[in-house]
Structure 1
Amino acid sequence: MKKDTLTLRRWLAARARQGGVWPRIAVLAGSASTLLLFVQAWAIATVAQHMVIDEAPFTSLAVPLLVLPFAFIGRGALAWLKTEAGTHGALLVRQSIRHELFQRIGELGPLWARRQHSATLGNRVWDQVDALHGYYADYRPQVMLCVTIPVLILLAVFPLNWAAGLILLITAPFIPLNMAMVGIGAKQRQQAQFREMTRMSRHFLDTLRGLPTLKLFGVSRAQADVVHEVSENFRTRTMRVLRLAFLSSTLLEFFSSLSIALLAIYIGFVYLGHFDFGTWGRELDLFAGLFILVLAPDFYQPLRDLGSHYHAKTEAEAAAEDLMPLLESSAVNGSNGSDWPVPECLGLTLENVICRYPGQQVLALDGVSIDIRPGDTLAVIGPSGAGKTTLLNLLMGFLSPEAGTLMTHDGTRIDALAPEAWQHAIGWVGQHPAILSGTLADNLRLAAPDADDKAVWQALEDADLAEWANALPQGLATPLGAGGQPVSGGQARRIALARVFLRQAPLILLDEPTASLDRDSEAHIMRALARLKPGRTVVMLTHRLDLLQLADRVLVLDRGRVRAVDTLDALRTRHDLFDATRFVEDSHA
């Protein structure tokens, strides 16, 4: 466990570099504030010494009285700068980690993401990354200030009174010891809180998704009681963490107040003549005693602040324990072949490919061998669980074969290419195309960020969508997605096709491109596909007879194995299969 904790701390420390110069500015601002504290203490002690002991004229107090407000204002400004610098540094770190998380999730692909609960992923990307804020904004800069500020104050106190400096030096460790005692259980409680938060998020999201079903079966009120119980469990764990934080703050205040009181008692006894040690052989005047007492609270203040931010450290370590394995794990594919040029024509060869999903015993693809020539259109059919989606995931680079080889028509092994290089050669249309919050142009330029308006309009024309786009209130600048222009299922499918036209990829993968569409929308898709085919290699999953007639060959899969690869007309005569033609015609009906 100790080794794991050290690993987490090293990981957190390494990420601090992403904060740029802001953490250093925070430490410099805190240290400069201590130097102004010396000016402030000198002004207060000088005024008291001149007025009470020396009975000096008021004119002699002009300099300290003028300096004092500037010292107060300067310390306030530096405190603001310290807070702002820490916040900016923490923001940069969080943005960097969040960017890495999104990039890593993209590398792992949709297969991995689908195995994760969406609430768990959201908790990692948002809540757990945000949990790092206090660590980088407050705790780490405060660790440095806990060294610099006490050292500066001791350097100022020891020449005036070594006994007072010794009291400060001896009593200071009580605060870190208290933090260590509190920190023993803080991390475990924070981890339990994170787990409960994830559980609550998952439960609440599942309840929202299933609300229509719950209402129809009349169990929504009973489910509300379950949601209440889950939220109460989270509240209880949160209160445990807060109780520990408040207990820590109370103990820190107690020890620092006790230490300051001890120092004040010593100085008081020196003034009464009961103690005569610690003064370096000279009398302790009012100026020196008051100067030391003004500095004493700020000697303990960095340690108290560190204690109040200590829960941020335990919170960050608990978050890092979940984030670190995801960010530090190796990529699914190597980075060789990142400069692979996308060819104009692309064929594929699969030789005895075997695929298995993680944690599964049954093979998803079992010895699949097929040759897809450049420019061919291959339709893939088969019953549910036959391996059709697995084949698409393999071709998209989201799933690596357990055995066998997958290569291009010219012999380039796809597993030797970087995933992003291979995916640049692919155009993709799924059953549920993603429509992001943004304009129509933004949604289309996902496929080709540098495309001009002319190319975008041509893609819309090819996808049979130009008439609809022209009728939009703002044309290409019309917002889509949440709060924007509503998009039907057929329109979303044609937007996805327009992206494929815009991308100009040599390999097109289609997953049921006309599924769940009305006759009119299906006709639009069919016309667009007819324009898309020439010069491209197309692999499509379908149960529609009309789409099968567009294919040069049909691949029949069953339980992960190839049952047949032939033309549609040839398959009609193969009654030994499950009559592929009838299967497609029935599903169409």
Structure 2
Amino acid sequence: MTTSVTDRAAEPTSTHSPPRYTAKTWLRSKLDHAGRWPKTAVAMGSLSTVLLLVQAYAIATIAQQLVIERAPFAHLYSLFVLLPAAMVLRGLCLRFKTIASARAGIQVRQAVRAELLSSIATRSPMWVRSQHSATLGSHLCNDVDALDGYYADYVPQMYLCGIIPLIIIVAVMPLNWAAGVILLITGPMIPLNMAMVGMGAKNLQQAQIVEMGRLSRHFLDTVRCLPTLKLFGLGKRQARSVERVSEDFRKRSMKVLKLAFLSSTALEFFSSVSIAILAIYIGFVYLGQFHFGNWGGSLSLQAGLFILILAPEFYQPLRDLGTHYHAKAAAEASAEVLMPIESDANEHTESVSSSTSDWNSQAPVSISFNGVTAHYPNRAKAALEDVSFALEAGQTLAVIGPSGAGKSTLLSALMGFLPLTKGEIRCNQQSLAQLPRDQWHRSLGWVGQHSAIIKGSLADNLCMGAHASIEKEMLWDALEKVHLKAWVESLPHQLDTPIGEGGQPISGGQARRLSVARALIRNAPLTLLDEPTASLDADSERLVIDALRALKQQRSLVILTHRLELLKLADHIVMLDDGHITAQGSFTELSAEGGPLHPARNVTGGAP
């Protein structure tokens, strides 16, 4: 829909609305999209730890029997077979864990991206126009991709942090309770450091997302305006501007990486110190300085080596979680951006699905505006104020007025995109606010200033928006009514002729008549038209008006226009100025002497 400058200025500019969830609950709500893969990853990680116990037992037993008991190699064949088998199986488990984790991340990203696209599709044109396409693209690509590490790495690792240390503690405690206590005391030092680092990481990541959106907008605007910049010799100046913005983004990225590397170093330090403490304890036990922790016995070489092999693996899940904690911070920062895109559309869907209506989307439509007042969000001035008029079923309404008068706002309110501050819109004596939006939109057809032409056949373009399968006879009938039948018959493949993006070229007038034909085929009882003859030459305008006459015979029309010939089609005309109705009536009434459409008024600068 085309909007006037004043209308655009009145639209909301905020991308964010209050979310229903926190970032953490929103991320958890998307975990179901991962299916069985996170559980598979956890199972493979747990099985890998069990195989590690077998591997550590084989190594410790071989050392015990060779060094202490001096057993012959013949007695160790089974252990020498068991050790490589455990290593190979453990490697396979880790591979399957990696595959399962990757699949979890892929499935969640695909599902979330599909949900966001669906949410954007249900938004009003006003909301879409208020967003920068580069920012939306960044959200759908970069910010959705930022969720991958959370579901692929952080979530499985969080469960493994509880399972793997527990398995190792259960294996170590029967051998030496003091070693188990050391592991239990030193283990929490790593998550504590991780939490402290994470608070700063999330703030930096959020700032990085904002900067990424700004950089995307700047780059896209530069590409769009490149011909103009080159025309005025400003290419080099803009290149320096892009370089400066890119350098700022690089510095912010380095701050995030700096924090990541510092936190990894801190995690390695704490885990190394913890392992050293355990090694020192076992060393003093062997030196005879410590006599506790052995359940009243002695600590054998086999037991001590078994514990030392397991010690790094006890801290490894916690270290990995610390590494992936940055993925959690990045995901939460992305969730803060993605939630508002999805939440409002979901709330609307829930409210619509809870409403009940016996609305017949194919029945003739009558409309009445009763004292309608509407404001755009965060705007004190009303975009429409105390607007009242009626349109009977089968009639045509023309809405005229200068740019910024509120014409497009009126259509937005009629389509249900703009909430009303006061008053009511009734359709066939039912309140528009109580009608499910999807059913109401089935009653609407649309012809705008810019006709949407998709890549495909001519038949594909004609059938776009149709409620059901369309017979070829209906297509030819619609083409005949809009004076395009002869042209299509002259094409080499007729209805199968490819158009759009390198296909058959069509003029602006032909595209506009295709839109009218599309409205005829859609067979909606109410068709909305926004300046359907704008920017057309006289011949094309005449053909479009003839097509609209055919459309007028079958349904109700609401036309935004400045063209006198289109006003003559209308049964009722509403004149808007600054959101108020200044005059309304039939063309005959308004063009009578003294009326706002009288030729004398137009000559002297009156109404259009």
TM-score (norm 2): 0.87
Which residue of structure 1 lines up, in the alignment, with residue 443 of structure 2? 425
Alpha-carbon spacing, 1:63–1:196, altered in 2? closer, same or farther (3 Å) = same
- Indicate the larger mover: 246-255 or 207-216: 207-216
Alpha-carbon spacing, 1:453–1:274, altered in 2? closer, same or farther (3 Å) = farther
| 1:250 counterpart letter in structure 2 | T
C-alpha distance in 2 between matches for 1:438 and 1:56: 80
| 2:438 counterpart letter in structure 1 | E
Which residue of structure 1 lines up, in the alignment, with residue 541 of structure 2? 522
Which residue of structure 2 lines up, in the alignment, with residue 536 of structure 1? 555
C-alpha distance in 2 between matches for 1:76 and 1:468: 68
Native 8 Å contact 2:202 2:333 kept in 1: yes
Deviations 1:283-314 (A, max 9, x none): 33332222222222211110011011111111
Note if 1:144 corresponds to 2:162: no
Note if 1:188 corresponds to 2:188: no
Alpha-carbon spacing, 1:160–1:473, altered in 2? closer, same or farther (3 Å) = farther
Which residue of structure 2 lines up, in the alignment, with residue 548 of structure 1? 567
| Local SS of the residue matching 2:558 | strand
The residue correspondences of 1:30-49 to structure 2 (distance < 5 A) are: 30-49=45-64
C-alpha distance in 2 between matches for 1:389 and 1:485: 32
> Number of aligned pairs?
583
Which residue of structure 1 lines up, in the alignment, with residue 150 of structure 2? 135
| 2:32 counterpart letter in structure 1 | R
**Gaps spanning 5+ residues in structure 2: where?**
1-18
Alpha-carbon spacing, 1:516–1:301, altered in 2? closer, same or farther (3 Å) = same
| Local SS of the residue matching 1:78 | helix
Shift of residue 427, structure 1, vs aligned partner: 0.3
C-alpha distance in 2 between matches for 1:61 and 1:548: 100
Q: 1:54 aligns with which of 69, 77, 97?
A: 69
Q: Please, what is the CA RMSD of the aligned residues?
A: 3.1
Which residue of structure 2 lines up, in the alignment, with residue 27 of structure 1? 42
C-alpha distance in 2 between matches for 1:471 and 1:27: 65
C-alpha distance in 2 between matches for 1:43 and 1:126: 48
C-alpha distance in 2 between matches for 1:92 and 1:227: 35
The residue correspondences of 1:433-448 to structure 2 (distance < 5 A) are: 433-436=451-454, 443-448=461-466
Alpha-carbon spacing, 1:480–1:271, altered in 2? closer, same or farther (3 Å) = farther
Shift of residue 452, structure 1, vs aligned partner: 4.3
- Indicate the larger mover: 159-168 or 5-14: 5-14
Alpha-carbon spacing, 1:476–1:286, altered in 2? closer, same or farther (3 Å) = farther
- Indicate the larger mover: 54-63 or 424-433: 54-63
Alpha-carbon spacing, 1:419–1:6, altered in 2? closer, same or farther (3 Å) = closer
Shift of residue 42, structure 1, vs aligned partner: 2.0
- Indicate the larger mover: 35-44 or 479-488: 479-488
Q: 1:563 aligns with which of 571, 575, 582?
A: 582
Native 8 Å contact 2:590 2:598 kept in 1: yes
The residue correspondences of 1:244-283 to structure 2 (distance < 5 A) are: 244-283=259-298
Shift of residue 282, structure 1, vs aligned partner: 2.8
C-alpha distance in 2 between matches for 1:473 and 1:224: 47
Note if 1:287 corresponds to 2:308: no
Note if 1:69 corresponds to 2:84: yes
Native 8 Å contact 1:334 1:416 kept in 2: no
Shift of residue 146, structure 1, vs aligned partner: 0.5
Q: 1:403 aligns with which of 417, 422, 426?
A: 422
| Local SS of the residue matching 1:160 | coil
Q: 1:382 aligns with which of 401, 404, 408?
A: 401
C-alpha distance in 1 between matches for 2:459 and 2:291: 83
Alpha-carbon spacing, 1:6–1:500, altered in 2? closer, same or farther (3 Å) = closer
C-alpha distance in 2 between matches for 1:487 and 1:311: 52
- Higher relative CO (CA 8 A, sep ≥ 6), structure 1 or 2? 2
Alpha-carbon spacing, 1:286–1:427, altered in 2? closer, same or farther (3 Å) = same
The residue correspondences of 1:177-576 to structure 2 (distance < 5 A) are: 177-329=192-344, 330-331=347-348, 334-335=351-352, 336-337=355-356, 340-408=359-427, 410-436=428-454, 443-448=461-466, 450-452=468-470, 454=472, 457-458=475-476, 459=478, 462-465=481-484, 488-576=507-595
| 1:536 counterpart letter in structure 2 | R
Deviations 1:63-103 (A, max 9, x none): 22223333223222222222232233233333333333334
| 1:419 counterpart letter in structure 2 | R
Deviations 1:516-539 (A, max 9, x none): 234454344334323322220011
- Indicate the larger mover: 381-390 or 548-557: 548-557
Native 8 Å contact 1:338 1:421 kept in 2: no
Shift of residue 259, structure 1, vs aligned partner: 2.1
Shift of residue 402, structure 1, vs aligned partner: 1.8
C-alpha distance in 2 between matches for 1:141 and 1:453: 53
Shift of residue 53, structure 1, vs aligned partner: 3.1
| 1:533 counterpart letter in structure 2 | K
Shift of residue 324, structure 1, vs aligned partner: 2.9
Shift of residue 47, structure 1, vs aligned partner: 2.8
